[in-house]
Amino acid sequence: MLVALVALIVVVGLLRPNFLQPTTLFQQLSGAAFIGVLALGMVFVVSIRDIDLSVGWIFNFSAVIAAKAMVLGVDPWIAAGIGIAFGAFLGLINGVLAVWLRIPVIIITLGTFSAFRGLSLVVNESRAVVPPDKTGSFFALFDVKLFGLIPSVAVAFVVLAVILHLVLHRTRFGYRVQAMGSNPDAARLGGIPVDRTRILVLVLMGAIAGLTGAMFLGFREAIDPVTGGDYLLPVVAAVIIGGTPLSGGRGTIVGAVVGALIIQVITTGILFLGVDVKWSTFVTGAVIILAVAVDQLVRRQRERRTRDTVDLG
């Protein structure tokens, strides 16, 4: 997938050399950050063969709560912390409902997709919530550029990706997540606490959505009632283009980063080329199908090699 990303950048760069300026390139990274960070969390969810449809509205609702707290005079840093905790709480609701009621996460979050959106609208009264005082260190942070070049949002994206990569591949929690996706029955019969792990994954997803909300608030200094509503599809697309299969067990954080960047480069690349923006949506769709098709091909090749003698009882 990395090859595809580099190829995309090279193609756009050959046609429009401006695109290859460092500033522009790092803009891609920060532009991909919000979808990208959400995709990092979604990698965990997809790794256990679930999918969280409500991420966009957890993101929105958490940002609204954080902004409201700022309106009420809470220190922006603490308000951001409240937003993250609130996101985690919404994730906990998803997880507990799914585990207690034995209903697939996709169904539960289909419900909470609307429920969180509705509650968010109640809280923000269908208006953008704008923190009154934007002079503090919290908001200043988002203007900082590392080495005068890399936007802080991009830095946060990369740092989070490194942390979550380590969590997925180097911790017992990450092992459990991958094992559950690899073979759910074997995981359960192997003594893995599958219910608790599933709840933890959804709490992690919620916290990450809350964190994305706080970052968005710091970056844009306001949260609209509709922002986040259309995040779900690009988030899942980034995960899948990155190579995490919906059948779980082989989650890749690095892949999700690349996937988010591919979507971003397609969008801005098309702008650079002067093509109508509408095409970017179409191309994103085509790339998803292409990515999954290639993945299937690779998988079938692997299975052909794996297949052993017929196993009759």
Partner 1 sequence: MQAGALTAVTPAIAVAGLRKAYGGIQALAGVDLAVAPGSVHAVVGENGAGKSTLMKILAGAIRPDAGEVRIAGELAEMASPADARARGVGIVYQELSLFPDRSLLANLFPDRQPTRLGFVDVPAMRRRATPVLERIGLDADPDVSVGALGIGERQLVELSRLLIERPSVLILDEPNSALNERETGRLFAILRELSAAGITIIYVSHRLEEVFQIADRITVMRNGAVVSTEDRSSTSIGKVVEAMVGTSPRELFPPRRDPVESATRVLDGAPSGLVVRGLTVADELVDISFEARRGEIVGLAGLEGAGVATLLGVLFGTRRADAGEVRFPDGEGAPHSPTAAARRGISLVPADRRHQGLMLDDTIETNISQVTVGALHARRPWLDRAAMWAAARRQIAGLRIRADGPAAVVGRLSGGNQQKVVIGKWLEVGPSVFLLDDPTRGVDVGAKREIYRLIREFADGGRIVLFRSTELPEIVGLSDRILVLYRGRLAVEFEGGEIDDHGLLTAINTGHRPDAGQAHPAPPSSPEEVIP
Footprint of partner 1 (CB under 8 A): 169-176, 179, 182-183, 185-193, 249-250, 302, 305-306, 308-313
Type of residue found at 190: G
**Nearer residue to partner 1 within complex by CB, 62 or 197:** 197
Nearer to partner 1, 125 or 303 (CB): 303
Q: Which residues contact 165 (CB under 8 A, 6 or more apart)?
A: 253, 254
Supply 305's token pair. 């090699």
- Contact (CB, 8 A) for 117 and 62: no
Judge contact between 249 and 46, C-beta under 8 A: no
Q: Tell the smallest beta-carbon distance from residue 184 to partner 1 (Å).
A: 10
* Cβ nearer to partner 1, comparing 278 with 304: 304
| Dist. CA 33–CA 39, nearest whole Å | 9
Eight-class DSSP state of 143: T
Closest approach of partner 1 to the CB of residue 218, in Å? 29
Closest CA to 217 of 138, 121, 114: 138
* 116/228 Cα distance (integer angstroms): 12
Query: In terms of CB distance, is 278 or 305 closer to partner 1?
Result: 305
**Minimum CB separation from partner 1 for residue 297, in Å?**
16
Task: Indicate the Cα dihedral angle 246, 2, 296, 174, nearest 10°.
Answer: -30
CB of 99 to partner 1, least distance (A): 13
SS3 295: helix
Q: Considering the complex, what minimum distance in angstroms separates the CB of residue 163 from partner 1? A: 13
- On whether the CB atoms of residues 230 and 56 are closer than 8 A, the answer is yes
Q: Which is nearer to partner 1, 148 or 191 (CB)?
A: 191
Which own/partner pairs from 232-237 qualify as long-range (CB within 8 Å, at least 24 positions apart)?
232/53, 232/55, 232/56, 232/113, 234/35, 234/260, 234/263, 234/284, 235/35, 235/38, 235/39, 235/42, 235/55, 235/56, 236/39, 236/42, 236/46, 236/51, 237/263, 237/284, 237/288
- Nearest to partner 1 of 8, 201 (CB atom): 201
Nearest-approach distance from CB 210 to partner 1, in angstroms: 22
Contacts with 87 (C-beta within 8 Å, 6 or more apart), sequence order = 58, 59, 61, 62, 206, 207, 208, 209, 210, 211, 213
- What letter represents residue 100's amino acid? W
Q: Which is nearer to partner 1, 177 or 205 (CB)?
A: 177
Question: What is the DSSP code (8-state) at residue 20?
Answer: G
Taking the least distance from each CB to partner 1, the nearer of 129 and 201 is 201
* Shorter beta-carbon distance to partner 1: residue 145 or 250: 250
